[in-house]
Amino acid sequence: MSAPVRILLFGAGNRGSDAYGAYGLAHPDQVRFVAVAEPNATRRSRFAEIHQIPPANQFNSWQEALQSGKMADAVINATQDEMHHASAIAALTAGYDMLLEKPIAPTLNETLSVMRTARVSGRLLMICHVLRYTQFFQKVHQILTSGQLGQIIHISHNENVSYYHMAHSFVRGNWRNSDQSAPMILAKCCHDLDLLYWFLNEKPTLLNSNGNLSHFRAENTPDGAPERCTDGCPAANSCPYFAPNIYIESLPIKIAVSRSDQPLLRFVGNLALKKPRLANQIAKVVPKIRTLTAYSGWPRNTITEQPKNEQAVWEALKTGPYGRCVYRCDNNVVDHQIVTMTFESGITTTLTMHGHSHEEGRTLRVDGSRATLLGKFTYSQVWLEVHDHGVKPVERITLPSMTDGTSGHGGGDSGLMAQFVKAMRGEQPPLTGWRDSLESHLMAFAAEESRLTNQTIIMQDFRDKAEC
Ligand SMILES: NC(=O)c1ccc[n+]([C@@H]2O[C@H](COP(=O)([O-])OP(=O)(O)OC[C@H]3O[C@@H](n4cnc5c(N)ncnc54)[C@H](O)[C@@H]3O)[C@@H](O)[C@H]2O)c1
């Protein structure tokens, strides 16, 4: 049996701890975290304790870790977007294979220089395009490549970002301002662009994109709304973005669970919403229910180090970025954008991203010469339907729910890690290696250029300019 892959983690934040660290705990035969680099002392020591990392292998930063010589087989790089470029180049150069969070880097030039380093170093560089590893998108890929739909004519793909995810990440949070992180089409949709490239196995020739920031703007501030939701906002009862409802009451999470396709979860969600006192009583004898009645997961666990402590959450709202009125933030990323593309064989695609969905998830439609594929991959429903153009009955395929709690991104996080281990052991080539992932990034950068310049991008010219 192969030994576990030894990992040095850069960034023990949300992704580093909750996605990759959690996989290590569940699969000690596959990965072992032997070192951690994280400037936040609470996160660093918590991660080190859980993974039994000795003090000598705990570092304040990725820079410090790399100065200490090679101590692991690979790096998992889960630092923030703007840090990927320097840390990825340094770690590859130091001889580490790497699983790198998306995006590769926030700008085209930085992305290309990471690519060049990967090529020259010959190291394994895999990008966290988690959606390719979900059962849902694997099934879509299989149907498209099987010929069941006939000739593929058009794909319409929607990335429906929920209103509360939009507010959390792209208005109040880390990805709100493209001067500090990546443009929205890269930050949120590089996964979706990657899927289109993977489904079709060909590159786009023409690309057009439009979009803007329509809603989260100062002129939409409710009358009398203060800087912070916690300062007595007159719109508290009607505003869907009222921070205490999102982070203290966890209202959007309870609503999402109450709409699950799993009857038991639906029951618990409704109980927590409509009869919270009874739900709390039941939770005393059925502790599992506390996962919802005393919810402390995402997004609550990203705003404080003590998500189980209500006082700490209030404090974060009163003083930190997540208590700010959504109409009074320093955000500039779009809240809706469309990208239309024509691919080499003439197939057309539209990608629609918007941050105003009642629930989180993707929906898609693929029209072929023999059948149409419809799909829903959201927190309430995960299914595909093939509608044949002939007399065949509709084929309905149900897939594992996103709310089963086994792994983030509908199973994508654990699928990604399992594949990374196989790639490290030389058992399988990476499905999301850097060469393939470059395509999604090129599309995203071209889309941003098209949006900003109001021009159609001829992709060959764009590639020639980028020399790739
Ligand atoms: N694959 C996906 O679907 C997916 C989903 C969400 C986020 N992401 C990406 O994952 C990355 C991490 O996101 P997150 O939500 O975990 O962010 P996060 O802020 O929770 O975690 C980043 C961590 O890096 C640490 N850090 C800062 N400077 C450092 C340094 N010099 N050395 C080492 N660590 C340092 C921070 O203290 C923080 O704990 C981002 O690039 C994000 O875009 C990917």
Residues 170-189 pLDDT 10s: 999 999 999 888 999 999 99
Tokens of 249: 């009451």
CB distance 126 to 100 below 8 Å: yes
Cis peptide before 103 (omega within 30 of 0): yes
| Ligand 1 proximity of 82 Cβ (cutoff 6 Å) | no
CA of 48: how far to CAs of 18, 157, 302, 434, in Å?
14, 41, 19, 29
Local structure of 401: helix, strand or coil: coil
Q: For residue 53, which of 67, 69, 35, 71 has the smallest C-alpha distance?
A: 35
Domain range list for the chain: 5-123, 132-216+331-405+434-466, 235-323
Report d(CA 159, CA 338) in Å as an integer: 10
11 alpha carbon to ligand 1 midpoint, in Å? 6
What pLDDT score was predicted for residue 405?
A: 53
187-196 per-position pLDDT tens digit? 999 999 999 9
Q: Is the pLDDT of residue 341 over 60?
A: yes
Phi and psi angles of residue 203, each rounded to the nearest 5 degrees, phi first: -105, 155
Rounded mean pLDDT of 37-49? 98
Radius of gyration (C-alpha) of the chain in whole angstroms: 22
Supply the mean pLDDT for the chain. Answer: 95
Greatest Cα pair distance, the chain, in angstroms, is 67
Report d(CA 354, CA 232) in Å as an integer: 29
Which residue, judged by its Cα, is nearest atom 32 of ligand 1? 61
249: buried, middle or exposed (CB in 10 Å: 19+, 13-18, 0-12)?
middle
| Ligand 1 proximity of 301 Cβ (cutoff 6 Å) | no
**Parallel, antiparallel, or unpaired: how do β-strands 74-77 and 152-162 relate?**
unpaired
Rounded mean pLDDT of 287-303? 92
Helix, strand, coil percentages (3-state) for the chain, rounded to 5, are 45, 20, 35
| Bridge partners, residue 371, by sequence | 388
Rounded mean pLDDT of 47-58? 98
335 alpha carbon to ligand 1 midpoint, in Å? 22
Query: Number of C-alpha atoms within 13 angstroms, CB side, residue 116?
Result: 11
Residue to probe by mutation, ligand 1, list 79, 98, 99, 131, most atoms within 8 Å of CB? 79
| Ligand 1 proximity of 88 Cβ (cutoff 6 Å) | no
If pLDDT is split at 50, 70 and 90, which confidence band does 23 have?
A: very high
204 alpha carbon to ligand 1 midpoint, in Å? 30
Q: For residue 71, which of 15, 10, 1, 114 has the smallest C-alpha distance?
A: 10
Tokens of 306: 């003590």
What pLDDT score was predicted for residue 261?
A: 82
| Ligand 1 proximity of 76 Cβ (cutoff 6 Å) | no
| Ligand 1 proximity of 37 Cβ (cutoff 6 Å) | yes
| Ligand 1 proximity of 408 Cβ (cutoff 6 Å) | no
Instruction: Say yes or no: domain 5-123 is CATH 3.40.50.720.
Output: yes
CA of 147: how far to CAs of 75, 151, 369, 432, in Å?
39, 7, 10, 23
Contacts of 365 (CB under 8 A, 6+ apart): 155, 156, 372, 373, 374, 375
Phi and psi angles of residue 76, each rounded to the nearest 5 degrees, phi first: -105, 120
Report d(CA 247, CA 295) in Å as an integer: 9
What pLDDT score was predicted for residue 406?
A: 55
CATH topology of domain 132-216+331-405+434-466: Dihydrodipicolinate Reductase; domain 2 (3.30.360)
Contacts of 81 (CB under 8 A, 6+ apart): 101, 103, 105, 106, 174, 175, 181, 182, 187
What pLDDT score was predicted for residue 288?
A: 84
**Parallel, antiparallel, or unpaired: how do β-strands 74-77 and 31-37 relate?**
unpaired
80 alpha carbon to ligand 1 midpoint, in Å? 4
If pLDDT is split at 50, 70 and 90, which confidence band does 134 have?
A: very high
**Ligand 1 atom at minimal distance to the Cα of residue 175:** 43
List alpha helices for 126-213, DSSP H.
135-146, 163-165, 184-187, 190-200
436-447 per-position pLDDT tens digit? 999 999 999 999
284 alpha carbon to ligand 1 midpoint, in Å? 35
| Ligand 1 proximity of 242 Cβ (cutoff 6 Å) | no
| Ligand 1 proximity of 91 Cβ (cutoff 6 Å) | no
| Ligand 1 proximity of 102 Cβ (cutoff 6 Å) | yes
Rounded mean pLDDT of 321-338? 98
If pLDDT is split at 50, 70 and 90, which confidence band does 409 have?
A: confident
Rounded mean pLDDT of 440-455? 98
Residue to probe by mutation, ligand 1, list 7, 15, 82, most atoms within 8 Å of CB? 15
Local structure of 342: helix, strand or coil: strand
Report d(CA 228, CA 231) in Å as an integer: 5
Which residue, judged by its Cα, is nearest atom 1 of ligand 1? 128
| Ligand 1 proximity of 128 Cβ (cutoff 6 Å) | yes
Tokens of 41: 């002392």
Amino acid identity of residue 305, one-letter, is E
82 alpha carbon to ligand 1 midpoint, in Å? 10
DSSP 182-197: --HHHHTTHHHHHHHH
Q: What is the pTM of this model?
A: 0.95
| Ligand 1 proximity of 36 Cβ (cutoff 6 Å) | no
Measured from the Cβ of residue 228, the count of other Cβ atoms closer than 10 Å reads 18
| Ligand 1 proximity of 9 Cβ (cutoff 6 Å) | no
Q: The tokens 């499905």 sit on which residue?
A: 431
135-163 per-position pLDDT tens digit? 999 999 999 999 999 999 999 999 999 99
Local structure of 462: helix, strand or coil: helix
| Ligand 1 proximity of 192 Cβ (cutoff 6 Å) | no
Report d(CA 242, CA 383) in Å as an integer: 32
263 alpha carbon to ligand 1 midpoint, in Å? 35
CB distance 417 to 7 below 8 Å: no
